[in-house]
């Protein structure tokens, strides 16, 4: 077993969390809505992206998940 496949077996969560970010009013803090997740292919050449929602503005932000399970 390669080191990469061993790491993939140990890792249970996604490699990235997908968010739609809407700007706040009057330049205030934006609103982050979790809309899906992404997992790297075993060969390292791409990702599978699973979306639960599709943003109307088409903007998707991918962030590495934090230790507490959230991405942002």
Residues in Cβ contact with 50 at an 8 Å cutoff, skipping those fewer than 6 apart: 36, 37, 38, 39
- In angstroms, the Cα distances linking 58 to 30, 35, 42, 53, 55 are 16, 12, 27, 11, 5
pTM: 0.73
Give the domain ranges of the chain: 3-63
- pLDDT (tens digit per residue) in 6-59: 555 566 799 999 999 998 888 788 899 999 999 999 999 999 999 999 999 889
């Amino acid at each position: 077993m390669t080191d990469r496949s061993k790491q993939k077996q140990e890792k249970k969560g996604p490699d990235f969390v997908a968010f739609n970010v809407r700007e706040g009013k009057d330049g205030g803090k934006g609103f982050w809505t979790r809309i899906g997740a992404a997992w790297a292919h075993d060969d390292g050449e791409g990702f599978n992206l699973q979306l639960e929602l599709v943003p109307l503005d088409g903007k998707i932000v991918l962030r590495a998940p934090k230790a507490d399970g959230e991405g942002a």
